[in-house]
Structure 1
Amino acid sequence: MTKGSEQAYKDLMEKLDQLDIKYKIVDHPAAETTEQADNYIAGLEGVRTKTMFLKDKKKHFYLVIMDDKKRMDFKDFQELTGTKRISMAHDHDIEEQLGLEAGIVSPFGIMNNADHNIKLYFDKEMLDSEEILTFHPNVNTHTIFLTASDLMKFIDACGFEYEILNLE
């Protein structure tokens, strides 16, 4: 069951403040797609990202974070990670594992994953740009801007590990 978008957002803001992570928030109408979200933050500096929640047939879960302009190549991902039969996770998986609604998936959902059963992967090219990254902060009525190093600080504090891949 989801925690409720606004509560999930408040919990995230508290966690980021507790970790002394600097961020900028832009408030906007609900964005149902990355394209809508991008329109609301047009002209502001930052890599527009997409986060995909994937699973395999054995119910292993994966978060893949990349520039939203890139296309996800599932075959390439499977070859790079040694995974098999990867597909998009179902809405109920998102709710159960991340405590979020479909369409609001971001790396910040890991703070709701007590089982620590999600592997995180970042696209190297996106991180190499050393720009600010943008995400939905567990709700689709805001966009958060923060550095990659601060995002990694958050992930480490949540007790998760991540890998950086060259996604084609």
Structure 2
Amino acid sequence: MSSHPQRAALFEQLDSLGISHTTHEHKAVFTVEESAEIKANLPGGHTKNLFLKDKNGQFFLICALGDTQVPVNKLHRFFECKRLSFGKPEPLLEHLGVTPGSVTFFAIMNDTKNQVKLVLDKALFDHDIVNFHPMENTATTAIAADDLIIFAKAVDHDPVILDFSTVS
């Protein structure tokens, strides 16, 4: 088990909310492709997480199934902003407390000033279980998909549920 301080805080938060979770340790993975071997042995929906920013400085955490096409160049229309680009490592660490390669749904708990808009792929809820990194990319933590909303609201975020197949 890792000594990453945020992992312990995450597990305490999940436990306090009565959210069942299972964590599997593995080698560090930085991309969806690198995680293919790990995913083959873990049930549930596997995810990718994108930290985006618009021209006005609004940040977005996009959490989607790993095989979902996330049309970053078209999402700005949905959010009524100019354009979206990938956020830099410094604001990622500042707002979500994680580094590139470890972006995760769970990091929304570190956005205590509500400066990051949380966007969840509607397809996540087609799975009973969904998998995310627990603040670092050397493990994968599984929770029930229905618990995503409970967790988000408990950390003062009201997620936007988006069907990415309809974004054009």
TM-score, normalised with respect to structure 1: 0.90
What is the match of residue 84 of structure 1?
82
Q: C-alpha distance in 2, partners of 1:68/1:41?
A: 10
One-letter amino acid matched to 2:124:
M
8 Å Cα contact 1:26/1:41 also seen in 2: no
> Is 1:30 matched with 2:22?
no
Q: Structure 1 runs of 4+ off > 6 angstroms? A: none
Larger mean Cα displacement after TM superposition, 74-83 or 10-19? 74-83
Q: Secondary structure at the match of 1:63?
A: strand
Kindly indicate whether the alpha-carbon contact (under 8 Å) linking 1:5 and 1:139 is maintained by their aligned counterparts in 2.
Answer: no
> How far apart are 1:37 and its partner, in Å?
2.6
Distance of 1:14 and 1:125 partners within structure 2: 27
Q: Among 54, 58, 61, which residue is 1:63 paired with?
A: 61
1:160 aligns with 2:160: no
Helix, strand or coil for the counterpart of 1:155?
helix
TM-score by length of 2: 0.90
Residue 5 (structure 1) shift: 7.3
Separation in 1, partners of 2:3, 2:63: 21
**Larger deviation: 4-13 or 92-101?**
4-13
Q: Distance in 2 between matches of 1:7 and 1:134?
A: 20
RMSD: 1.7
Q: Of 118, 128, 135, which residue of structure 2 is paired with 1:138?
A: 135
Q: Identify unmatched segments of 5+ residues in structure 1.
A: none
Paired with 1:55 and 1:72, the residues of 2 have a C-alpha distance of: 14
Does the 8 Å CA contact 1:65/1:123 hold for their aligned counterparts?
yes
SS in 1 for 2:60: strand
**Match runs of 1:121-132 below 5 Å:** 121-127=119-125, 129-132=126-129
Between the two proteins, the alignment pairs up a number of residues equal to 164
Percentage of identical aligned residues: 32
Instruction: Report the CA distance between 1:8 and its aligned residue.
Output: 1.1
> Secondary structure of the equivalent of 2:164?
coil
